[in-house]
């Protein structure tokens, strides 16, 4: 027991600067107990972090630096956009607020499907950017998942655009997959793998 406690104490502690529980659940499955990931809620921080910039990188940096300034702790954040080829990369950095400030998942899907009506090229990708602040220095990691937007939503799991996104290599939408299945394809998993590899390289 004491050994186990010592091991827990030695794990690197990182605050994950998000209020999105879906992201926390997905990332915790990937990181497991390799690092001590603390959510904003666990850290007692109740803040709606702004995402005012026009790139995923700048928004990810905004989130991690906001929490780093508040706490001085090691922090990571993640910002994701859905980039649709036929819409010139939209909704992209505006993915959360595509249909308005309400950040309504269903309204965003409705707007996306309306904008793609009659369009044959449905290619899209999710792009996730993780910003890590470790020992006061920032590092960025990217993960991309290619796929397509289907015409009618399917599945009830996940969040955001999951019911209309089918990744390359599957015939299911993300919303029809368990977290473990989604992680076989996901942008967030790929970016998190890079984060983990980097953190491990810093420890050895």
List, by residue number, the catalytic residues. 79
| Nearest distance from C-beta of residue 55 to ligand IMP, angstroms | 12
Q: Which one of residues 162, 176, 191, 195 is an interface residue with ligand IMP (CB under 6 A)?
A: 162
Least Å distance, CB 6 to ligand IMP, is 36
Reduced to 3 states (helix: H, G, I; strand: E, B; else coil), residue 89 is coil
Q: Is the CB of 35 or the CB of 98 nearer to ligand IMP? A: 98
Question: For 3, what's the count of Cα atoms within 13 Å in the CB-facing half-sphere?
Answer: 0
Q: Which of 39, 95, 173, 183 binds ligand IMP (CB under 6 A)?
A: 95
**Residue 12 or 90 having the CB closest to ligand IMP:** 90
Q: Which stretch binds ligand IMP (CB under 6 A): 2-10, 33-41, 75-83, 191-199?
A: 75-83
Q: From residue 108 to residue 147, what is the string marking binding to ligand IMP with x (rule CB under 6 A)?
A: x-----------------x---------------------
DSSP state of 15: E
> For residues 12 and 115, which CB has a smaller minimum distance to ligand IMP in the complex?
115
Task: Give the N- to C-terminal CA distance of the chain in Å, as an integer.
Answer: 25
**Residue 115 to residues 13, 90, 102, 178, 199: CA-CA distances in angstroms?**
43, 10, 19, 28, 41
Question: Please, which residues have CB within 8 angstroms of residue 30's CB and are 6 or more apart in sequence?
Answer: 183, 188, 189, 192, 193, 196
**Residue 161 touching ligand IMP (CB under 6 A):** yes
Q: Which is nearer to ligand IMP, 162 or 176 (by Cβ)?
A: 162
Task: Report the helix count and the strand count for the chain, using DSSP H and E.
Answer: 6, 7
52 to 24, 57, 102: CA distances (angstroms): 22, 11, 15
**CB 10 → ligand IMP: shortest distance, Å?**
31
Bridge partners (DSSP) of residue 182 are none
Among 39, 61, 74, 80, binds ligand IMP (CB under 6 A): 80
Per the rule left: phi > 0, alpha: psi between -120 and 50, beta: everything else, 160 is left
Task: Single out the residue of 62, 53, 61 nearest to residue 138, CA to CA.
Answer: 61
Provide, rounded to whole angstroms, the least separation between the CB of residue 124 and ligand IMP: 11
- What is the contact surface with ligand IMP in residues (CB under 6 A)? 20, 51, 79-80, 82, 95-96, 103, 105, 108, 126, 158-162, 174, 188
């Amino acid at each position: 027991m004491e050994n186990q406690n010592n091991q827990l104490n030695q794990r690197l502690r990182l605050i994950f600067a998000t209020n999105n529980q879906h992201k926390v659940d997905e990332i915790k499955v990937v990181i497991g107990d390799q690092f001590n990931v603390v959510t904003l809620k666990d850290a007692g921080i109740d803040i709606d972090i702004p995402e005012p910039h026009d790139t995923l990188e700048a928004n990810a940096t905004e989130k991690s630096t906001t929490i780093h300034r508040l706490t001085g702790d090691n922090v990571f954040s993640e910002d994701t956009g859905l980039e649709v080829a036929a819409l010139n990369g939209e909704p992209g950095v505006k993915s959360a607020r595509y249909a308005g400030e309400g950040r309504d998942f269903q309204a965003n899907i409705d707007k996306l499907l309306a904008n793609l009506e009659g369009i044959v090229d449905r290619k899209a990708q999710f792009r996730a950017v993780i910003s890590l602040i470790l020992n006061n220095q920032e590092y960025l990691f990217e993960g991309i998942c290619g796929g397509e937007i289907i015409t009618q939503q399917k599945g009830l799991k996940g969040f955001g655009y999951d019911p209309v996104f089918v990744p390359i290599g599957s015939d299911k939408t993300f919303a029809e997959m368990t977290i473990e299945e989604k992680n076989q394809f996901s942008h967030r998993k790929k970016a998190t793998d890079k984060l983990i590899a980097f953190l491990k390289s810093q420890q050895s």
